[in-house]
Amino acid sequence: MRKVNATLSVTLDGVVQGLGRPDEDTRGGFTHGGWGGKYNDEVMAAEMGKGMAEPTDMLFGHRTWTDFITAWATRTDDNPFTTHMNAATKYVCSRTLVNADAWQNSILLSGDAAETVAKLVTEDGRDLTIIGSASLVRDLHAAGLVDSYTLLIHPLTLGTGTRLFEGNAPLTEFELTSSVTTTKGVIIAHYTRL
C-alpha cells in the first residue's frame, strides 16, 4: 500500500498561504505573500534534498499544480529540484480540469479527492508526496489518508491567511520521528501517524 506524505511550510499561527512570492495566492485579500523566502538557507535545502532523493510520485491539488507549472515545467537548469519535479509522476486532483497535459508526466484524478486518492493508495506504485496543496491535505487528513507530515515551521506570525487546519480536523495522533533546526530558526519536523 502506498503512503502519503504532506510537506508544508507553516507559520507559528498556522498560515500556509502564499509562501513563495507576493502574487502566489492573494485570495481573501492576502497581502503577506512571499513570507518564506528570507528563511531559506543551506540546512533547509539539504533537508528538502533528502526528501527529493527518495523515489516518490507527487500528488497535487489543482491550484498548486497549476502554479508549479509556471515555476518548474519549462525550467531546464541543473537544479536537482527541477529534475525531480519534471521527471516525477504527478497526480493532480481536480473536479474541473479536463486533462493534465500541461505538464509532462501528469495524471488527472477527477472527482472527489479523498475517494480517488483512497483508491490510488491501494494500487502498486511509489509512495506519494504532497507539496503545498493545503485544501487537498485537509481533505485527505479528514479521510485518514495522510501518513506523515514534514512541517517547515517558520518563526513568524501573520495574523491572516489560510491556515493548515481550518474548521474541524479529526483527532489524529502523530509521533515526532526527527527534526532539524535551520540557521534561520525554521524547525523542520517530521511526524508519522500512529
- The b/e string for 24-48 (b: 16+ C-beta within 10 A; e otherwise) is bbeeeebebbebbeebeeeebeebb
- Structural domain boundaries enclosing 79: 4-193
Is the distance from CB of 150 to CB of 188 less than 8 angstroms? yes
Taken as a whole, the chain contains a residue count of: 194
List 150's β-bridge partners, or say none. Answer: 7, 190
pLDDT above 80: residue 168: no
Is the distance from CB of 8 to CB of 188 less than 8 angstroms? no
Entry pTM? 0.94
Number of structural domains found in the chain: 1
Q: What is the CATH number of the domain that holds 146?
A: 3.40.430.10
- What pLDDT digit, counting tens, does each position of 56-88 carry? 999 999 999 999 998 888 888 887 778 888 889
- What pLDDT digit, counting tens, does each position of 1-52 carry? 999 999 999 999 999 999 999 999 999 999 999 999 999 999 999 999 888 8
Taking the C-alpha atoms of residue 164 and residue 16, their distance in angstroms, rounded to an integer, is 6
Q: Which three cell numbers stand for residue 16?
A: 500556509
List 60's β-bridge partners, or say none. Answer: 92
